[in-house]
Structure 1
Amino acid sequence: MDAEHEDRPRVVAVSRDSDHRFSKPVVQELTLVEGWGVEGDAHAGTTVQHRSRVARDPSQPNLRQVHLIHAELFDEVAEAGFAVAPGELGENVTTRGIDLLGLPTGALLHLGDDACVRVTGLRNPCQQINGFEPGLLREVLGKADDGVVERKGGVMSVVVSGGVVRQGDQVRVELPEGEQTPLEPV
């Protein structure tokens, strides 16, 4: 990527796994399917696919079809001594140059030429993160100075329009009209 485009919001990596494992292997490209999620990924579907949510109520709508994490989180946890690479925290799309956590509910992320996802909420980091790397959970789930819980494990979304997403694709943000609603865990 040339220096002129290096600071633009972009996709750093894409990952998927057909099985329910914590980490997802990086792949060359993802195909997003409208209303479904990532083709070939264990979390794709119109209803919840996350094991604990299926156990509670399998008829809930799947608001977690595509998981996105900002690569800046990897930089941040590296300062605390943790080495994390794309896909290792279970995300499908790793981005750089966009404040995912600062987006409002309903923001649209245009990924590459055709794909678009609508942000539904924050990922709620769980104890499995410590299973991946002991102590990492405290780096992605903490408290701000005012005591508010900070969830840094990325955002969840649903596919609004399908398409292929690859490393290097640009990301364009479209904010919802009207009053902006801060992200909550989904």
Structure 2
Amino acid sequence: MGTTVEAARVVAVGRDDEHRFSKPVVDEVTLVAGWGIEGDAHAGTTVQHRSRVARDPSQPNLRQVHLLHAEVFDEVARSGHRVAPGDMGENVTTRGVDLLGLPTGTLLHLGDDACVRVTGLRNPCQQINDFEPGLLRAVLGRAEDGSVERKGGVMAVVVTGGVVRAGDRIRVELPAGEPQPLVPV
């Protein structure tokens, strides 16, 4: 059964037909089941991220859609970083959903029709420092138990296509069974 948090919303959407770090914010994106975001360089059934293609181009694409919580912008701003929607390469910027606390397999219903399945964490990389020096340290931290905290958002695959726009509601549907924590994909 899904739960809707009234404050859970899409803040912005972005796409880019080239492999650049940041994605321009657009009015709407069209999600295509099993493919990703129409017109985005990372869409496809097999991996599209250049480093992963170099290792094995036949791998399934578990990174069709990158979602990032706008709350991280507030957090990094406290350490002097200015980040806006699309800057960190996300396709969907959210607010009001603890993306990093979701279990693997969670369904996120975006707007009226679209639905994505969370596959894992985005592993922040050096490109973040290339965008803004010191930002990588701000989105990588240590939990109380000493484990690495990755705050670069989550990756997902498209289950049901549809158009997604800023202001759309987000409904969270947790998977059945024992929750599996997110790991980098």
Name the TM-score, length of structure 2 as normaliser: 0.97
Partner of 2:72: 73
Alignment correspondent of 1:94 = 93
- Report SS of the residue matched to 1:76: helix
- Which range moved further: 26-35 or 135-144? 135-144
> Where does 1:86-165 land on structure 2 (aligned, <5 Å)?
86-165=85-164
Q: CA deviation at 1:144?
A: 1.5
Contiguous gaps of at least 5 residues in structure 2: none
Structure 1 vs Structure 2: percent identity of aligned residues? 81
How much has 1:7 moved relative to structure 2?
Answer: 5.2
Q: What is the CA-CA distance between 1:8 and the residue it aligns to? A: 1.6
After TM superposition, the structure 1 = structure 2 runs for residues 25-104 of structure 1, keeping only pairs within 5 Å, are 25-104=24-103
Deviations 1:124-146 (A, max 9, x none): 00000000000000010121222
Q: Which has the higher strand share?
A: 2
Aligned residue type for 2:65: V
Equivalent pairs, count: 181
Residue type of the alignment partner of 1:76: E
Q: Distance in 1 between matches of 2:19 and 2:141?
A: 26
Q: Distance in 1 between matches of 2:6 and 2:33?
A: 29
Gaps of 5+ in 1: 1-5
Aligned CA RMSD, in angstroms, stands at 0.9
Structure 1 CA distance for aligned equivalents of residues 45 and 140 of structure 2: 28
TM-score, scaled relative to structure 1: 0.96
| Aligned partner of residue 14 in structure 1, secondary structure | strand
